[in-house]
Chain A
Amino acid sequence: MEVRFEMVKPRILVMRVAGTNCDRETEWAFRLAGGLPQRVHINRIKRGEVKMRDYQVLVIPGGFSYGDDISAGKVFANEIRHNIGNDINLFIEEGKPVIGICNGFQVLVKAGILPYPGRQSVTLGWNGSARFEDRWVHLKIEESVSPFFRGFPPVIKLPVAHAEGNLITENEDVLKKIENDRLVIFRYCAPDGTLKGYPYNPNGSTANIAGLASASGLVVGMMPHPERALFRCFYPDWHRDEKNGDVFGYGYMFFKNVVNFFR
């Protein structure tokens, strides 16, 4: 008799609130990568209708939660802290990945979850250009603690779309600690991988930081949108790219790495 083993499909909680607008794409990306995603409004978790313990991955997708009122991600961050903070802490303690994309990254830092849990030590302020920056950027992949960015080439391209992505650390010591702990997952760069200012760094972010991980590497936040770069044909220059024979984009690689973490 032939015995077949089913691949484990992680259950992925895509948490949304009023103003979240990248939840469907993120859900679709995880499904494409082999996960079992489900979009859930935070109120269902607050009411106890949905239990976080039933999921293996938590994702806070991009968007404009609560209209970015007060500051981007601030109200959502407080809602998490006041209502489901213990659930998220337990989730992280159990070694389950937590991913924040764009607005989700803003939420994670303002809730004091990233990069160091307990209190807020970095923030994402207004872009230096005082404009919403919506375009493709080059990113230099760093040798970070996160397992989700292994196997990537040294420089990749992903789209950004944000007004508040300027990473500011509380002080120089926090920045040094982030660097020493290898928490930077990627940085904005020029096409050749050198770190340069605007327009390569779209928001004036300190040390060109575009994404951070926790010390375990399993909590990650990033300003670029991997869910908008699933296929090569999504890239504006894919006709000119020598590799245009490849079907998948670098965004797909990220989602696949998260799903493969459970295999």
Chain B
Amino acid sequence: MSAIAFMVNSVHINNMEKEKLFLIEVRNKTRVTDVFGYMIKKDIMETGIQEIEEVLTSSLYRLKGVCCHRELIRIAEEILIDAVAQDYFLDNSGIRKRGAGYNVIDVFYKEGVTDTVAETVMTAVKDAGIKNLFSASTGKRYYLKGRLNRQDIETICMKVLVNPLIQNYSVVKDNNA
């Protein structure tokens, strides 16, 4: 996959370095329907925002460790994706790959909130014999298409995408900017 060329902080292949933060985005291949995106679009329309045209979703994995490039690719390909139905992207290359016209929202748990999926990821990584990963956290990425202003995006986040008690969100790409 061409997207493997992108990585946070430019870790070199097979070159162990000090602890770094990696981001892996996992999403359905284009031929596989994003059923959650469809359901979220319906939820957004129920808030009164009719301008929403399309919602697509991804899973995000933030990994901290001293993994080499080869280990990172193994984590992505063997543990995080379902190769038949999903692709992965390192860093934010997935946003570029998605094309123009999308607002992009990332949602992660607040610090201190138990992230059970991340704990399972750590178990699976250790089971695969990879010892250089120290922690993981999981989140969701939402691609929103439509003529949405900033107020619309904030409404969508607070009413549909985010539980503000336990989650933070960030607008990674804002078409109004």
Question: Is this pair of chains taken from one and the same complex?
Answer: yes
B1: CB under 8 A from chain A? no
CB within 8 Å of B: which A46-98 residues: 66-67, 69-71, 74-75, 78-79, 82-83
| Chain B residues positioned under 8 Å from A128 (CB to CB) | 33, 35
Q: State whether B117 touches A75 (Cβ < 8 A).
A: no
Q: State whether A169 touches B84 (Cβ < 8 A).
A: yes
B36: nearest chain-A partner, CB-CB: A130
Interface SS, B side: helix
Q: What CA separation (Å) do A82 and B124 show in the bound complex? A: 10
Shortest distance between the CB of A175 and any CB in chain B (Å) = 12
Q: What CA separation (Å) do A127 and B116 show in the bound complex? A: 23
Q: Which residues of B contact A (CB under 8 A)?
A: 28, 32-33, 35-36, 38-39, 78-80, 82-85, 116-117, 120-121, 123-124, 127-129
| Chain B residues positioned under 8 Å from A67 (CB to CB) | 116-117, 120
A120: CB under 8 A from chain B? yes
B38: nearest chain-A partner, CB-CB: A130
A110: nearest chain-B partner, CB-CB: B82
Say which residue of B33, B38, B124 sits within 8 Å of A75 (CB atoms).
B124
| Chain B residues positioned under 8 Å from A70 (CB to CB) | 79-80, 117, 120-121, 124
Given contacts A83-B127, A126-B36, 11 further A-B contacts (CB under 8 A): A69-B116, A69-B120, A69-B121, A78-B78, A120-B83, A121-B84, A125-B28, A130-B35, A130-B36, A130-B39, A168-B85
Q: What CA separation (Å) do A185 and B116 show in the bound complex? A: 36
Q: What CA separation (Å) do A129 and B39 show in the bound complex? A: 9
Say which residue of B35, B82, B129 sits within 8 Å of A82 (CB atoms).
B129
Q: What CA separation (Å) do A168 and B35 show in the bound complex? A: 14
A123: CB under 8 A from chain B? yes
Q: State whether B79 touches A78 (Cβ < 8 A).
A: yes
| Chain A residues positioned under 8 Å from B80 (CB to CB) | 70
Q: State whether B84 touches A120 (Cβ < 8 A).
A: yes
Say which residue of B82, B117, B127 sits within 8 Å of A123 (CB atoms).
B82
Shortest distance between the CB of A164 and any CB in chain B (Å) = 10
Q: State whether B116 touches A125 (Cβ < 8 A).
A: no
Q: State whether B79 touches A66 (Cβ < 8 A).
A: no
Q: State whether A125 touches B128 (Cβ < 8 A).
A: no
CB within 8 Å of B: which A109-137 residues: 110, 120-123, 125-130
Shortest distance between the CB of A84 and any CB in chain B (Å) = 12
